[in-house]
Structure 1
Amino acid sequence: MVRKGLKSTRQRDVILDFFLSSRRHMSVEELYRKLRARHPGIGYATLCRTMKLFAQSGIARDIRFEDGQTRYEHRVEGEHHDHLVCTGCGAIAEFENKTIEDLQKAVAESHGFIIHSHRLDLYGSCAKCCEKASASGLKTGVMNIK
């Protein structure tokens, strides 16, 4: 935290440890519910301010998916990943795919464009939601992209 230019406080240290130990993309509300169970002295406003500071300093990345809710994920310098987002249950999976990255670079180059950053979120149904839909007789199809 100090390397990122932030003052280290007991509450920030607790929030940082908790945030970094989580592998999920969580909203402030989710973080607060889980954090409060172990550390009831940390307030909601403190958590909000701290997560914004973490995002501004590069420790975290704030992401808003289709549902409009801001979630936070770890930010590691030089690391990139994309997201699979289930529209049924809200599950979010991270993935890396060199072929997709190479294709994006090639498309940009063919248009004389230099990519500074990008974000790819693919929305669909996770395996569990597909199983539930199939068991209840609902059709789950694959979107045809042309």
Structure 2
Amino acid sequence: MTTARRDAVRQVLAGCEGFRSAQDIYADLRADGSKIGLTTVYRALQALSDAGEVDVLRTDEGEAVYRACRTEQHHHHLVCRDCGRTVEVEGPAVERWADAIAAEHGFADITHTVEVFGTCADCAGRRS
């Protein structure tokens, strides 16, 4: 895949606050006149994910959604269920727990993903 296509996907993600599906990214690119194919978008997202440039999470429906990383450090996310606003957070207590539980069971080279979903203050305020 050409770097130009990967850069186009990277640029769409850079302009987004929350997580976006591959189909959303594809639609944005096509709306801007790109001739990129959906398969190419998926390949670009996989390459960007493998390089640590994008965060990936699964929605409650099982769909993979993507977001440009704002930091290169290991982090977790607070995600608003209503508007998709996402905040990157550190979780030292989670890191200690993961290390301890892995050691307790004889596991090494562990990884983990923790996402916290809720309603942001703006959306909660609109409900009142």
TM-score by length of 1: 0.63
Q: Match for residue 139 of structure 1?
A: none
Larger radius of gyration: 1
Q: How does 1:64-83 map to 2 (within 5 A)?
A: 64-74=58-68, 79-83=73-77
- In 1, Cα distance between equivalents of 2:122 and 2:22: 26
- In 1, Cα distance between equivalents of 2:15 and 2:124: 29
Q: Match for residue 111 of structure 2?
A: 117
Which of 71, 88, 99 is 1:94 aligned to?
A: 88
Higher relative contact order (CA 8 A, sep 6+): 2
- In 1, Cα distance between equivalents of 2:125 and 2:29: 32
Q: Which residue identity is paired with 1:10? A: A
Maintained 8 Å contact 2:19/2:84: no
Q: How many residues align?
A: 128
Maintained 8 Å contact 2:10/2:68: no
Q: Match for residue 30 of structure 2?
A: 36
Q: Which residue identity is paired with 1:79? A: Q
TM-score by length of 2: 0.69
Which of 109, 120, 124 is 1:130 aligned to?
A: 124
What runs of 5+ residues in structure 2 fail to find an aligned partner?
none
What runs of 5+ residues in structure 1 fail to find an aligned partner?
1-6, 136-146
Maintained 8 Å contact 2:18/2:84: no
- In 2, Cα distance between equivalents of 1:125 and 1:100: 21
